A and B are shown apart, each in its own frame.
Chain A
Amino acid sequence: MTQQPTQSSRFTFRTLVLLLIPIILLVGVIVLFLSTGGGLDLQAAAPVEELTIERYTLERNEIELHVRNTGPEEINVAQVVINEAIMPFTIAPNTAIPRLGTALIHINYPWTYGEAYSVTVFTSNAIAFAVDIPVAFETPQPSASTFWGFTLIGLYVGVIPVFLGIFWFPALRTLGRRTMTFLMAATAGLLIFLGLDTLAEAFEFAAEIPEHSRALA
């Protein structure tokens, strides 16, 4: 009323307060939720279970599953079925897997190289979680040669192409300013595309991550 707003945007104490108000409110809401539960009493009508089979490893006559309970409640592993046969198994550290806890399921099973297997884990609520082994082969153990192999791949796809590309530079310099600008624009475009493509792929990958540790998607 009394003053006309000035043209320049100055950071004043008033701005700071205005910025802080939503944050203070948010903290208040969170505290309220934590202390009261927000008045929600959401009991699942049926058991909600989620068991993620994070990894399987095969060794001669052995199959091991690395599982994680990614559901909201404790899970009890009851039985394991491989290709339509109930198989004895051992589980460590315990048949009861706490929320976000992991366990290792060990099955003695005479699997055959190159064949396909389906392993189903039944929880005590008769909920089945399956993992497919499309082609059975002994899980490679990390060794110096595998690390060297990956190092070579890095060299081939990351270092050598860049190095070769640099050798174009003397020739490109002689092509003049307009051509150079065009090439730079094309390069920038390519980089943007790669950036977006990587992002899209990251989202896709994130969607496969167990729900509990998913911050995206």
Chain B
Amino acid sequence: MQKKLSRRDFLKAGGLTLLGAVGANAISHPAGDSGTGKAKVLAAPAMQHDGHNGDLPNIVGEVDHEKNGFNPDDILIDFDYGEVSTLPNGQTLREYEIVSLNKNIEVVPGIEYPAWTYNGRIPGPTIRATEGDRIRIHFSNGSNHPHSMHFHGFHPGSMDGIPGSGPGGMVQPGESFDYEFDADPFGLHLYHCHVFPLARHIAKGLYGAFIVDPKEGRPPVDREMIMVMSGFDVDFDDANDFYAVNAIPFHYQNHPIQIKVGESIRIYLVNILEFDLINSFHLHANFFQYYPTGTSLIPSEFTDTIIQGQAQRGILEFTYRYPGMYMFHAHVTEFAELGWNGMFEVT
């Protein structure tokens, strides 16, 4: 008897729910079950990875650089010296226009990340000046959140770009502020937004490199490159999902950087990676001279691997002896397999 009753209840409840479900399904879109799941690999040629990379970790496809508005190939060698003029006292003035913008960036093929950018690119422009130059940044906030520009280097407190430091500490949407200071000391520095919540403001893309050349310049090299190491937390769980140098994972793996045997290379390397404690750079089949923070012209180490915490940076100098394909990547191998891996093609 009891069993019979419970079965009846069960059927009743089930029937009602079923009716509800049918109704709900009918209201929304018609079912589109293709039912082809059992077909064994119909091969999607466009999605096929390239043969010579075999089963190495890699992304599928290519991000739309044009839509992103920047290409890591360009960022690699793009140094912004600003608009140059001379002040009455003879000091060189470099002026920059920088605007913070909300922008969807395709960080890996198929995934657009609602990034915050300086001038629509990640990393922001690489600001380059000579020690003692006057820097004037016309910063305007074109986004819908307050932002700032906080530079590493000597400057007055009012130019520090942190909340509480005056009008430049938190530039409201639609407003602007001029940051002005002398480029000092020489070395490799960086800038980033310093508005709360800081981790998100940085992780979403508000950072860039700031190079101050010594007055007499650095010894000449054949080629200079800028590399900013960072990551993207696309699902907002405060852990990075993808890692890269110059924003786009695996970009230099799929588009190797072309260099010549014997060519002297200088890399300005900045780590702004959020959420993870350290980042690193390892160069294959070679060694480099390392100048931490670039504040000395004498290298501190001759090595093939260095570690950087967040905001640490340094200059690397090396030359390749033999032609071939050579990897460079974070020797935190997890980061490498999640995108921070590149290649030098030496000819």
On A, residues with C-beta under 8 Å from B are 30, 33-34, 37, 61, 66-68, 72, 76-81, 84-95, 98-104, 106, 108-110, 122, 124-128, 191-192, 195-196, 199, 212, 214-216
The one of A88, A102, A126 that contacts B55, using a Cβ cutoff of 8 Å = A88
Known: A86-B58, A86-B337, A215-B18. A124 touches B110 (CB 8 A): yes
Known: A124-B112, A126-B113. A90 touches B17 (CB 8 A): no
Q: How far is the CB of A107 from chain B (nearest CB, A)?
A: 9
Q: How far is the CA of A95 from the CA of B59 in the complex (A)?
A: 14
Q: How far is the CB of B111 from chain A (nearest CB, A)?
A: 5
A79 near B60: Cβ-Cβ < 8 Å: yes
Q: How far is the CA of A88 from the CA of B254 in the complex (A)?
A: 13
Q: How far is the CB of A102 from chain B (nearest CB, A)?
A: 3
B37 near A102: Cβ-Cβ < 8 Å: yes
A-B contact pairs, 5 of them (CB 8 A): A78-B108, A100-B32, A122-B241, A127-B235, A195-B6
User: With a CB–CB cut-off of 8 A, which chain A residues contact B54?
Assistant: 108
Known: A102-B37, A110-B55. A89 touches B60 (CB 8 A): yes
User: With a CB–CB cut-off of 8 A, which chain A residues contact B27?
Assistant: 33-34, 37
A215 near B110: Cβ-Cβ < 8 Å: no
User: With a CB–CB cut-off of 8 A, which chain B residues contact A216?
Assistant: 13-14, 17
Given A92-B39, A128-B241, A214-B21, 19 more contacts at CB 8 Å? A61-B55, A72-B29, A86-B250, A88-B53, A92-B36, A92-B40, A95-B44, A98-B34, A99-B32, A100-B31, A102-B33, A106-B41, A126-B234, A126-B235, A127-B235, A128-B235, A195-B3, A196-B3, A212-B25
B14 near A90: Cβ-Cβ < 8 Å: no
User: With a CB–CB cut-off of 8 A, which chain A residues contact B108?
Assistant: 78-79, 86, 122
Secondary structure at chain A's binding surface: helix, strand, loop or mixed?
Answer: mixed
Q: How far is the CB of A124 from chain B (nearest CB, A)?
A: 5
Q: How far is the CA of A66 from the CA of B14 in the complex (A)?
A: 28
Q: Is B47 an interface residue (CB 8 A)?
A: yes
Q: Is B292 an interface residue (CB 8 A)?
A: no
Known: A90-B47, A124-B111, A127-B235. A102 touches B59 (CB 8 A): no
Q: How far is the CB of B47 from chain A (nearest CB, A)?
A: 5
Q: How far is the CA of A15 from the CA of B49 in the complex (A)?
A: 70
Q: How far is the CB of A164 from chain B (nearest CB, A)?
A: 26
Q: How far is the CB of A110 from chain B (nearest CB, A)?
A: 7
Q: How far is the CB of A74 from chain B (nearest CB, A)?
A: 8
Q: How far is the CB of A138 from chain B (nearest CB, A)?
A: 17
On B, residues with C-beta under 8 Å from A are 2-3, 6-7, 10, 13-14, 17-18, 21, 23, 25-29, 31-44, 47-49, 53-55, 57-60, 108-113, 234-235, 241-242, 249-250, 334, 337-339
Most B Cβ at <10 Å: residue of A88, A100, A102: A88
The one of B2, B47, B49, B234 that contacts A95, using a Cβ cutoff of 8 Å = B47
Q: How far is the CB of B263 from chain A (nearest CB, A)?
A: 31
B47 near A91: Cβ-Cβ < 8 Å: yes
The one of A30, A34, A90 that contacts B41, using a Cβ cutoff of 8 Å = A90
Known: A101-B32, A124-B111. A84 touches B337 (CB 8 A): yes
User: With a CB–CB cut-off of 8 A, which chain B residues contact A199?
Assistant: 6, 10
A122 near B234: Cβ-Cβ < 8 Å: yes
Q: How far is the CB of A4 from chain B (nearest CB, A)?
A: 33
User: With a CB–CB cut-off of 8 A, which chain B residues contact A77?
Assistant: 110
The one of A30, A79, A93 that contacts B36, using a Cβ cutoff of 8 Å = A93
User: With a CB–CB cut-off of 8 A, which chain B residues contact A101?
Assistant: 32-35, 37
User: With a CB–CB cut-off of 8 A, which chain A residues contact B110?
Assistant: 76-79, 95, 122, 124
Q: How far is the CB of A66 from chain B (nearest CB, A)?
A: 6
Closest to A85 in B: B337
B48 near A90: Cβ-Cβ < 8 Å: yes
A86 near B32: Cβ-Cβ < 8 Å: no
Q: How far is the CB of B51 from chain A (nearest CB, A)?
A: 11
Closest 6 A/B residue pairs (Cβ): A102-B37, A78-B110, A88-B49, A85-B337, A126-B234, A98-B32
Known: A79-B59, A86-B242. A102 touches B17 (CB 8 A): no
B58 near A100: Cβ-Cβ < 8 Å: no
Q: How far is the CB of B269 from chain A (nearest CB, A)?
A: 22
Q: How far is the CB of B34 from chain A (nearest CB, A)?
A: 5
Q: How far is the CA of A33 from the CA of B53 in the complex (A)?
A: 55
A33 near B23: Cβ-Cβ < 8 Å: yes
